Amino acid sequence: MLKTVDTSIQDWALRFLETCNDEDKLILPASVSPLELAKYVSALANDHGGYILLGAYSENGYGSGFQNVASELIEKCQQLLEGVEMKCSFHQARFQNIYLLEIEKSDSLAFAGGSPYVMKSGKPKIIPERQLIEKLGLGVDSSLINMLSEQITKQSEKVDYLSEELKEKSKLKNQVPGLLVGGFIGWLLSALLNSLLNVGG
């Protein structure tokens, strides 16, 4: 569950800076690009949901200050998102316009720029294939996945074996004219020898 951020208390933003944890509470500077911001939003939505304080910065692990955030950044970010429930609230901190984004946990998959992300070591990363299968509800039964992957492996081995067999057959096919010529010459020599031996006999 989300830990509620109480924006009614004084200096709530500074408290947020002190308690951010890279898992469900993130701080991002005003200079973040719309796509980068969208990736963070997607990652939080695909995990447990969370908060992003936009327009704050931290130095050496301490809350240091605030930067003015352009409203276009939020608008462009929202255009890149799919499958995301997000509340966006505007605040002023030390005469700077900052935003608090509250991201709900996604029921299915949340996309940023057409790709789904998850948080890994405090950064958004594209969801690994296996995790994606599980998220879509296709990987609940791991034994089924293993069985399917074994079948795919067996089929690919079969294809490899058949392709080797076809290669051998094609080699043989290429050798047929040579074998026929060799066979004909051998028969001709044999016939000549037979006729010579018969004549001599």
CA distance 89 to 53: 10
Three-class SS state of 14: helix
Domains detected in the chain: 12-127 (3.30.950.30)
Question: Mean pLDDT per 10-residue run, the chain (201 residues)?
Answer: 74 81 86 96 94 82 77 95 94 89 92 93 88 67 60 63 66 64 72 67 48
pLDDT on residue 10: 78
* pLDDT score at 1: 44
Cβ(73)–Cβ(98) below 8 Å: no
Predicted confidence at residue 73, as pLDDT, reads 96
